[in-house]
Structures are given as structure tokens and as C-alpha cells.
Structure 1
Amino acid sequence: MKVLIVGAGGREHAIAWKISQNKKVEKIFIAPGNAGVELLEKAENANLSNNIEEYVKFAKNNKIDLTFVGSEELLVAGIVDEFRKNGLKIFGPDKKAAILEGSKAFSKDFMKKYGIKTAVYEIFDDANKAKEFLNNWSDFPVVVKASGLAAGKGVIIAQKHDEAIKAVEDIMVEEKFGSAGNQVVIEEFLDGVEASILSFTDSKVIVPLLSAKDHKKIGENETGLNTGGMGVISPNPYVTEEVFESFKNDIMNPTLKGIQAEGMDFEGVIFFGLMITKKGVYLLEYNMRLGDPETQAVLPLLENDLLELIEYSFDKKLSELKISWKLLYSCCVVGAAKGYPESYKKGDVITGIENASDDELVFIAGAKFEDGKFKTNGGRVLNAVAFGKTLDEARKKAYKLLSKINFPGMYFRKDIGNVK
């Protein structure tokens, strides 16, 4: 069996690592590529551009049996639709369903339409009207979001009026997130603890995976700029049985009803970004693919073969599958380049990756393999993942693993997994 994984980050390395454990898999291609193939026997890179036709041609020429899409951009652009037209098997939402991630404006209206618990909001495609709305807003902080895809960075929490006005200017006028900021969503700030729940769906049922807790800000104690994620723990200790039941009743089940009512028939992933507050559990956003770095913490705890979940999805039999988990905690800490999420240097040599023991994992996120060495090639460079019978044990092991690895200016948060 030949598998193509679409994407380039730590998430794609983790997916390839998990899929490679299936004995039926003879070859895994990652495109546009990930240096982590150097750590996997069955994997190699396919140097493809972001052109869907090129992916279709590659899948045909290389007799790919299954394509798994990690990249949100290509999902929104309709890669699943094109593969299906060409009789190619692909796991992910079609263009109609991917808009739940591609447009925050659409997804918020979807939530409202189907009674999914979410924050009060307004949508604007005119900067002056957005600022006029904010002039009459008194409940700060307030959240200003670029509606389109912004690599996890298009969300600004404004503490006061002038910060909110500047956020609108940055997003809509200065176009800091490009066309993603053509529309903005302004919504009430929800005070609480975030949770991520990845799930698989065959459009007949949604099957949630283990919960996780991402750490989005660059600085400790959730300070500074938003990032794509600086670390994750799983399971999330704040997701109690009560919280999980609220999630299912107020968010997951009505989401499934909405997907069915809108005719979004697909096999793929739905990522629920939640906020747990004193007033209940709210949905912040949908991602229509596995999260990064949540995937790196969750997949290693999955006892099932990942391809088993995918095949059950294609057969529309997910409801029949029993999913099992290791009775462990996982902790994933991101090692980032100095200066991330703004400007940062590339090309520094990374040492110590080979020092990971058998019960530790290093997933490559933003690096290249050149002249026999790993070198930095992105903002989030790598993920150190470790496990324990307690969260504290998993945390200590993850930081111990990271201490074995080095590159000039390596930055990481020291509070990943701290639970109050």
C-alpha cells in the first residue's frame, strides 16, 4: 500500500510515523516534504508545489492508494473534490465542508443556524463599519478575528478600545494576514480554559479522540503574540466527564446535524476548538483537519491502527469501531527559532535528535536535512514528545528530552502542561 501525506509540519511527520506502523504500508510520500523522513524507514519526500493538479498527477503516476491531507489551504482550495473526480481515494473534507475552517464568518453563522453554543459575534467586510461597531462596544476584552486562513495567528484579543481599533486596522487595512482579513469577526471574549478535541467523521457519526490542551501564546502564562501552538498535553485535565457531556450535547451533536442538513458528505477530521468557562462549554472554531501540535501528542496514545480508523470512515462504519487508548499522559513541547512568530533565522545546525530514547519521540516541524545534518528551516522547528503515568511525569520527560537537543537560539516555553 502506498500513502501520500499532504503537508510539511510536525503534524505530517506524526501522521507518517503512525501510518508507518501498519505492515501493509510499503511506501509513504510526504509532500511538499518534511525532513522527518530521515527518521522513518518507509517514507520519502515528494517535492510538489501547492498545485492541486500536480498532486493528482503524482498520485496517479505513483499508484497512490490513499491520500491523507494535513494542509488546510489545499482542503479549502478543493483538493478532495479533484481527487474524487479522478477516482483517487482521499481522506478529508471536500470544498463545501472545508469552508467551516476556511471562513470564520461562515462557521459562526453555521453555529448560530444549528444552535451550537458559541460566543456572541458580528461580521464585517468594511473596516469603517467594524470600527463604528467597536465605538459602541463597552465589554472589554474583545476578540477580533481575520475570517480566512491565517496559520493560527489571525486572532487578536484586544484589552481596550484602541487595541481593538488597531486590530481592525492591522487585519483589514494593513492586510497583515493578506486576503484572510477581507472580513473580520468581532466577538465577545470568553474567559476560561481552552481545550482541543480532534475527531473522525464519516458524516453519519462523529467519533471524538482524546482531549488535548494547546498553549497558543509565545510567552509563558499565555502572554505575547499568538503562534501556531507552543506545546500540548493530552488528555486535557480540564475536560471532565461533565465538560465532555456538555461538548457532545451542545456542540458535537448539533454540528453533525448541521453537516447532514447542509449535505456535507465526507470522510475526514473535525477539530473542535473549545473554551471551558464558568457559564459552560463554548465552541471557538472548527478546523477540518488534525491540529498541530495536538496531533503529535494525541496519536502516540492511540492503540488502534490509524489506517483502521480511516478505512472504517470510508466504509461509513465508524460507529462500529472501538477505539482504545494507552493509559498514559503525553506532553509535547515545541522548540522554536529565536524571534518566532515574527522574523527568525534559518540554516542553524540541530544536534541531539538522535539522543531520543525508545519511549521518546522527536517530530520535525520546520527543518531541512542537508549535508547529513538537520538544519532549522522554520519558526516552529521541532516537537519533543514524552509520556508518563501522570501528567507531571510526562512533562518532566518531555523537558528532559528537549535538553538533549540544541540549535543556536532555541526557544521553548517552560510552562507547558502547568495545571492550576
Structure 2
Amino acid sequence: MKILVIGGGGREHTLAWKLAQSPKATKLYAIPGNPGMAEIAECVPDISIEDNKAVVDFAKTHDIDLAVVGPEVPLTNGIVDAFEAVGILAFGPRKLAAEIEGSKSFSKGLMKKYGIPTAKYEVFTDAAAAKDYIRKEGAPIVIKADGLAAGKGVVVAMTEEEALRAITDIMEAQEFGQAGSRVVIEEFMDGEEASLLAFTDGETIVPMISSQDHKRAYDGDKGPNTGGMGTYAPAPVMTPALVAQAKETILAPAIRAMAAEGRKYQGCLYAGLMITAEGPKVVEFNARFGDPETQVVLPLLRSDLVEIMTACARGDGSLKDLDIRWSDGAAVCVVLASGGYPKSYQKGYEITGLAEAAAKGAHVFHAGTAEKDGKIVTAGGRVLGVVAEAADVAQAVEKAYDGVSAIDFKDKMFRKDIAHRALERLI
């Protein structure tokens, strides 16, 4: 099969890497791709992933059999609908289904209507009314930009002052543009977070191995929220019983709810969960693989990803017949970021040690890199994901940081405590 991967970050590099392992994958393309993906796929950097016509025209011209959509923006722009209109199989939800991520107010309304456990909330389009609500409710409280904000539109405010400032930044200063013209304000949920991704064809739901992200920029979960500074899988907090409970009370009802709303959901459904005293509750739904969760979940997949994605995309009932297997081990991802991230940072610094890290047994997934004069240089906030697999989390942590030590670039920044919650459970 000829396969097209859409996107150019660490998630897409991981997807391409896993797809390339399938004997069914005869040729891989990536729009736009990145230097890491270029080792396994033909990259097409001159087409925008937001230009549905150009992407679909490329797919038609190159006889693509399966398109795999990584980022949320093309999904919410209806790229899967555009592929289907010309008869090309595509993995990912259609535009109406992708609204489960594209609009937090839609997602929260869906959960409320169908009784899916989540935090209580209110939606506001007026900043003054939002601030009045915050003063009434107090802190801690959670402020979310309604639309897409590249994973950064959420403020967990521990003080009233911080919450009010978030409204000023999001709604009045328009820090996230139109995505912040409406905000969702939620109660603060106490507990431990985990991510549970699932394959689905619109009926059958296959949960993947659980994982846990580290959103804060600095050690000890301090500093501003980021797109994610590292992950590990499985997450010990997600016991087999809790995974089964989440499937029964969250994943399955969500898929049924979307079907009932005329928005059949196919692809990967990402449930960001808070494990509370009352059980798992939804923090957010995403309409695609997480980043950097994908970097630790897919290395643990032992089945053919092309086969799974094809079954999800076809929606012909074949997903339920697949025997999807996972490793008994663990994986850890440490994100190497540019100094200053998630605020301003410099680009263009040469990266060294990539081959040395790979020689130490690490998978190095490119996120924000570019090639310049034959050298790999930094080109984004999150630059690389250094991933290691091992028999358990402790060994995977040691192996991942061994890989990190081999790589260098100016102002390299990373957290030194990835998987600390899992390690604390081993003490």
C-alpha cells in the first residue's frame, strides 16, 4: 500500500516509523514531513496541511491507498471528508466528528447530555461575566479557550488572581486568537491525570496502553503549560480495572453519543482523564493521537498498524476481528526543547549526537527540526523526543536519559524527572 502521513511533528514521525514496519506498506509519503521522517518516507514540504485541495490532489496523483492524518487542524478542516469524496481511505474522524476536539463547549455539552463523567462547567463569550463567575466560584479553577490552541489554551489557576488574568489574556488580549473568543470554565478536579487513547471504527473500541504526559515546563510540575515535555507508558495509576471502567463509562458512551448525534466517529479517540476518588472523569477529548503520548504508546504496539488503521477507516466491522497485541514492557519519552520554550526561543542551532543516541538504543523522533547545509538544526519549541523501551519504567527511564545525554544543541532544555509518579509507586 502507498501511505500518506499528514503532519511534520514528533507524533507524525512516530506514526510513520510504525507504519513503515508493516509489510503492507510499500511506499510512504509525508506532507510536510521532517528530517527524521525523510529517512523512511518521501517528504513533500511545499504543500500546506491546511490546503485540502492540494493535499487531496497529491494523494490522487500518487495513487495513495491510505491517508493518515496526524494533527487536529486538518481534521477539523474536513480533510477526511475531502479524501472520502474522491474515494481515498483516510484514518481520522470526519469534520463533524472532529468537533469533539475543535470545540470544548460542544464536547462538554455532549458529555452533559449523555451522562459522561466530567467536571462541572460554564461557557462564556463575555469576559466580564466570566470574571464575575470566577469571583463567585473562587480558586482553584480551570480556564480553557474553546477552540484549538495547540495544546496550550488551558490554565489551571490555583488563585483567583491567576484565573482573572487568564480571562484577560485569553478573551481580551486574544492570546489564542479566535480560539479564545469563547471560554469554558470548569471546576478543579483533584486527582492524577492519565491519557487513554483508543482505536475505533465507530462501533468497536480498542483501548491502547495508557500513558501519562508531563505538561509543565519544569521539574516538579512547575512552570507554564506546554504541549508536553515527556511521557511514559503504561501509567500505573490506570489499573486494568480502571481501564475497563473508562471504556465502559467514557469511551463507549462517547462513541455511541457521537453516532446518535449523526457524527459517527472513526479513527483515534484520545481521552484525557482525571482519576478522582469517584473514578475516572474526562478532562478533555482529542480527535487524534496525542503528542507526545504517541511516542510511547506505539513503540509498545506489537500488531500491524496499517491493518488496524485500515479497519478503522473502512468501518466495515473488521476491527472487532483483529487480535491487537501489546508489549508487556514500558516506554519513556523525554522531550528536548529549545531554551525559553513555551515562550520565545531561538532556532537554527546545530543538533549533534543523534546517531550516538540511536546507538545507545533510543528511538529519536524529530519534532521541531530542519536540515540546513547538510546539518540537522533546531526549528521549533519541542525539538526531539528521545524514547526508550525496556522491561519496566525504571529501566526505560535510565535508557531514555542515556540517549538524552548523547544529544546536544545550544540552550537544550528538558525535564529531568519524567515518569516520577511511576517511579514513586515503585518505592
State the TM-score bracket (shorter-chain normalisation): over 0.9
Aligned to 2:355: 354
**CA RMSD of the aligned region, Å?**
1.2
Provide, for residues 232-268 of structure 1, a one-character-per-residue CA deviation record: whole Å limited to 9, x for no partner. Answer: 0001111012322321222112112202211222431
Measured after TM superposition, the shift of residue 359 of structure 1 is 3.5
Aligned to 1:56: 56
Question: SS state of the match for residue 204, structure 1?
Answer: coil
CA distance in 2: counterparts of 1:131 and 1:339, whole angstroms: 30
5+ residue gaps, structure 1, are none
Aligned to 2:337: 336
Aligned to 1:130: 130
Provide, for residues 342-375 of structure 1, a one-character-per-residue CA deviation record: whole Å limited to 9, x for no partner. Answer: 1001000000101112742000000002222110
Aligned to 1:189: 188
CA contact under 8 A between 2:207 and 2:247: conserved in structure 1? no
CA distance in 1: counterparts of 2:144 and 2:201, whole angstroms: 30
Is 1:88 the counterpart of 2:88? The answer is: yes
Is 1:252 the counterpart of 2:255? The answer is: no
Is 1:369 the counterpart of 2:366? The answer is: no
Aligned to 1:405: 407
Provide, for residues 358-395 of structure 1, a one-character-per-residue CA deviation record: whole Å limited to 9, x for no partner. Answer: 74200000000222211000000001000111210000
Measured after TM superposition, the shift of residue 46 of structure 1 is 4.1
Q: How does 1:6-405 map to 2 (within 5 A)?
A: 6-40=6-40, 42-49=41-48, 50-138=50-138, 140-313=139-312, 314=314, 315-355=316-356, 356-357=358-359, 359-405=361-407
Question: Percent of counterpart pairs with the same letter?
Answer: 47
- TM-score for the superposition, normalised by structure 2: 0.95
CA contact under 8 A between 2:141 and 2:187: conserved in structure 1? yes
Measured after TM superposition, the shift of residue 47 of structure 1 is 2.4
- TM-score for the superposition, normalised by structure 1: 0.97
Measured after TM superposition, the shift of residue 64 of structure 1 is 1.1
Measured after TM superposition, the shift of residue 221 of structure 1 is 1.5
AA aligned opposite 1:346: K
Measured after TM superposition, the shift of residue 330 of structure 1 is 0.3
CA contact under 8 A between 2:259 and 2:265: conserved in structure 1? no
Question: SS state of the match for residue 149, structure 1?
Answer: coil
Q: What is the total number of aligned residue pairs between the two structures?
A: 418
Question: SS state of the match for residue 161, structure 2?
Answer: helix
CA distance in 1: counterparts of 2:231 and 2:127, whole angstroms: 35
AA aligned opposite 1:190: M
Tell me whether 314-323 or 302-311 shows the greater mean CA deviation: 314-323
CA contact under 8 A between 1:9 and 1:364: conserved in structure 2? yes
CA contact under 8 A between 2:360 and 2:403: conserved in structure 1? no
CA distance in 1: counterparts of 2:323 and 2:264, whole angstroms: 22
CA distance in 1: counterparts of 2:136 and 2:45, whole angstroms: 52
CA distance in 2: counterparts of 1:142 and 1:349, whole angstroms: 41
CA distance in 2: counterparts of 1:357 and 1:300, whole angstroms: 17
AA aligned opposite 1:392: A
Tell me whether 316-325 or 89-98 shows the greater mean CA deviation: 316-325
CA contact under 8 A between 1:29 and 1:46: conserved in structure 2? no
CA contact under 8 A between 1:114 and 1:257: conserved in structure 2? no
5+ residue gaps, structure 2, are none
CA distance in 2: counterparts of 1:4 and 1:23, whole angstroms: 16
Measured after TM superposition, the shift of residue 45 of structure 1 is 3.4
Provide, for residues 80-99 of structure 1, a one-character-per-residue CA deviation record: whole Å limited to 9, x for no partner. Answer: 11111122211111111000
CA distance in 1: counterparts of 2:61 and 2:391, whole angstroms: 46
CA distance in 2: counterparts of 1:146 and 1:231, whole angstroms: 23
